[in-house]
Amino acid sequence: MAATIAGATPAVDFQDIRLEEKVGHGSYGVVYKATWRNQLVAVKEFGASAEQKAIETEVKQLSRVKHVNIIALYGLSSYQQSTYLIMEYAEGGSLHNFLHGKVQPAYSLAHAMSWALQCAEGVAYLHAMSPKPLIHRDLKPLNLLLTNKGRHLKICDFGTVADKSSLMTNNRGSAAWMAPEVFEGSKYTEKCDIFSWAIVLWEVLSRKQPFKEIDNTYSIMWKIHKGERPPLLHNCPKRIEDLMTACWKTTPEERPSMTYVVKVMNEIIKDYS
Ligand code: ADE
């Protein structure tokens, strides 16, 4: 099986991987910290029951991408009934944990803007892939990992990436970041990532979890469907607020492209550094 889906991804001998502790789980599968060839790596395990399609999606898409703001895929391994993806390790954990974890390190507005920009750069790269843009579809701080003492941000979890509009079936827990057209089952494009990015921007600026007070996925979807968005922030510079609200517009065509977001973010950041 491995050989047929690996494509450009090297096959790795499972005996060469030393699994250490569990560090998380993606849309499918458990993630371990591990050592491989004297380096720390992240290993994502898909058990025998994992949907074959999810594994294939993640490997096929991730093997094509190479960008500083996207977690790299090093290799693919299989052992007994399981498949393992060997990936770049991000020692800083998730942005979600940084923002909302037990220990709360301070960070500046410039730092928050840098995370949002790095996320936008990774996504802009995905959207520029040929022949078709890749859509991440599940951008949220749990899927944004930090390295280099929290300075660098890398997008992970490509189990939901698609190069076409298809129904999202494994989106539990992501409603607060999801564009309305995605959960409405309408045709959608890469513009759904722009919407999610705007919610991530709101989250790093506010250090709050969007719609946290609502514990029901469907109630969150209903609010977003009705046009409700996270509350505007006090003291938020107007240019940032304008960009954020343009990106979470209900009509996908009215949201700017990620290339435009990167350009504007660069202009704004210049004034904060
Ligand atoms: N959790 C999920 N993916 C990870 C990675 N690549 N590095 C560290 N922790 C992770």
In the annotation, is 138 catalytic? yes
40, 62, 73, 89, best to mutate for ligand 1 pocket (most atoms within 8 Å of CB) = 89
pLDDT above 80 (res 27):
no
pLDDT tens by residue, 211-261: 999 999 999 999 999 999 999 999 899 999 999 999 999 999 999 999 999
Other Cβ atoms closer than 10 A to 176: 20
- CB of 40 within 8 A of CB of 91? yes
Task: Give the residue ranges of DSSP H helices in 26-65.
Answer: 52-62
pLDDT tens by residue, 140-153: 999 999 999 999 99
Task: Give the residue ranges of DSSP H helices in the chain.
Answer: 2-6, 52-62, 95-100, 109-127, 180-183, 191-206, 217-225, 238-247, 258-270
The Å distance, Cα 43 to ligand 1 centre, comes to: 8
Beta carbons within 8 Å of 80's beta carbon, 6+ residues apart: 48
- Identified catalytic residue from 13, 16, 138, 193: 138
Ligand 1: residues with CB < 6 A are: 23-24, 31, 42, 71, 87-90, 145, 156
pLDDT tens by residue, 81-124: 899 999 999 999 999 999 999 999 999 999 999 999 999 999 99
The Å distance, Cα 149 to ligand 1 centre, comes to: 15
Other Cβ atoms closer than 10 A to 10: 12
The Å distance, Cα 150 to ligand 1 centre, comes to: 14
The ipTM estimated for the assembled molecules is 0.94
